Structures are given as C-alpha cells and as structure tokens.
Structure 1
Amino acid sequence: VTLYEMLTGVLPFPGETPRAVLARVLTGEPTSVEEYRSDVPAGISALVERTLEKDPA
C-alpha cells in the first residue's frame, strides 16, 4: 500500500469511511499503477500490483 501510494499519489483502496475502505479492500481491485504513471517500469508496476492481490500465492 505504501509503495503504491508513493508511486501514484493516491491510496489503492480509497473510501470516505473506514467501512468503505474495508469494503474496497475486500471486493475491489486497485487501479493499475501504469494508469497513473506511465513512466514507472512495467516490472515495478507488476510487483506492486502483485503485492495487492487478494491471493498472491
């Protein structure tokens, strides 16, 4: 989450309330890093997105 925010400037699971954030974490998918920053190398973007997967195994 921290690296995603450092790269994009936004949280991967935004919400107006803690409950809304939790709902996004459980059911939502973050917007791709590359959609915010096309200059981020694809490997870094893929790494960040993998760490945010629901089941990264």
Structure 2
Amino acid sequence: MDAESRDETTQDSAEAAARRSRFGTLPEPVRLEDTVEERPATRRDPARDAYDPHEWLVRYCL
C-alpha cells in the first residue's frame, strides 16, 4: 500500500465517521400533541360574551 492510497483510506474513514456521527441515528419521534396548535377561530368579543349563562341560577334560584 503506497502513501497516497493510505491517505485516501484515512480520509474516507474520517468522512465515514463524520457522516455516521451526523446521520447515524434517527431523530426522536415527535408526539402528536406537539404537532397541533389550537387557537380560537375569532377574537373574543366582550360585548357578546358579557352574558353569564350561570348568573340566572345564582340570581333566581338561590
């Protein structure tokens, strides 16, 4: 084996080691809960939401 082929072999094994360290394992699985973002479709309207549906229970039943 001459010096040039040894250098290529060393370079190839170094590249293979770098490739294995970067791509050798799969990434961690992503949970389904982490893939969904829930946001309200519209903004909250205080004028519309001023009515408390439970208020009449307190006002008329107690």
Normalising by the smaller structure, the TM-score range is under 0.3
User: Normalised by the size of structure 2, how large is the TM-score?
Assistant: 0.20
